[in-house]
Amino acid sequence: MGRLRVLPGAGEPALDPRSGTAPVRRARIDTGAIEHNVRVLREIAGTPEFLAVVKADGYGHGAATAARAALAGGATWLGTADPDEALALRRAGVVAPILAWILHTDADFGEIAAAGIDLGVSSEVQVERVAATAPGAAVQIKLDTGLSRNGVEAPAWGRVFETAAALEHEGAIRVRGLFSHLANTSAAEDALAEERFADAVRLARGAGLDPALLHLSSTAAAVSRPQAAYTMVRCGIGIYGVSPFGDAARVPAGLRPAMTLATEVAAVRRIAPGTGVSYDHVWRADVATTLALVPLGYADGVPRAASGRAEVLLGGVRRPVRGRIAMDQFLVDVGDDEVRVGDEVVLFGDPATGAPSADEWGAWADTIGYEIVTRIGPRVEREPT
């Protein structure tokens, strides 16, 4: 049983997995890589402002850790999905400008505004709610230019801009920015979204708004569509060194993976030909071989869908995963090589070390590298380096 501890910002005790008796499960976070990646991306983008996205606990890397590293690398803004994530950064002592863009429409935004957090509003109702509950708050209006997610729909742009301009004139809000997001579907689709955004900017200015921050590009556009840069880019996955294109072969040049997921061999056993391995015996040994037990599983974010396809780095060699990945463990085949309990196993990290990348694990699980790093669970200790 682990020690009880209270997590920062939480009201209930949680089990601390670091009791010294549990298997070692660690995600080493290379803060120097995050700093480096921000510098690389900022130089590519060339914009006056650079927003580092640290939502979802910094894409699994630790939000405060990622935020501090990004700021050290030259980020001028931070972005979170919701205001609670932004408030957690404030409690952690992060004082940089923050934008949060998924809001509860009926909320009281006073505490958020008092903490100096910009609110990304997606409807006229949200604009009015911010003005009513947080007079003088800074807002940035999100526009739907083709994703059909949150953001003001095009037919409502004119009305929302007029409402926002009137409220700004009264001192009820301050409109600091306009922003949207590209779908990355195709060059033609992105070009159309860029045209829509440019139309929205003209319409907003015609209504009397003059927002200083205009941002459309995430990492993918920041490195491939310079015409969409405007005054700020929002880079998320790229600052962690993972491909924004969902392709291990298309990591932008110069970026380094920031997370290394590692553990230690928990058991070793020799098996005879014909022996079934793990649930359902979807794999049986053709010849006598040695299996090493890896104490990580889908409860820790290791995708079950990668069963029988993934590889790990063990003893300087990539080893294949055999059989089903279970909730807490899986097996790898080391053949006739000597492996001992306690030897390090790297699931993913920097390919320059010989390890698989998060993007490769994404391909093995029919998903993307984003999901691989973000889903790493709480039993895995984050170790900033």
What is the SS3 assignment for 369?
helix
Phi, psi of 133 (to 5 degrees): -105, -15
Q: How many CA within 13 A on the CB side of residue 100?
A: 23
Phi, psi of 88 (to 5 degrees): -60, -35
CA dist., res. 239 & res. 370, Å (int): 12
Burial class (CB in 10 A: 0-12, 13-18, 19+), 313: buried
CA dist., res. 70 & res. 196, Å (int): 30
CB 222 within 8 A of CB 50: no
What is the SS3 assignment for 112?
helix
> Which candidate in 59, 279, 298, 370 is catalytic?
279
Rg (C-alpha) for the chain, rounded Å, is 24
> Which candidate in 55, 230, 298, 370 is catalytic?
55
Active site residue 298: no
* Tokens read off for 171: 């001192």
CA dist., res. 234 & res. 249, Å (int): 22
Active site residue 55: yes
Residue 149 annotated as binding site: yes
Give 333's strand partners: 291
* Tokens read off for 302: 């290791």
Binding residues: 149, 327
Catalytic residues: 55, 279
Binding residues for substrate: 149, 327
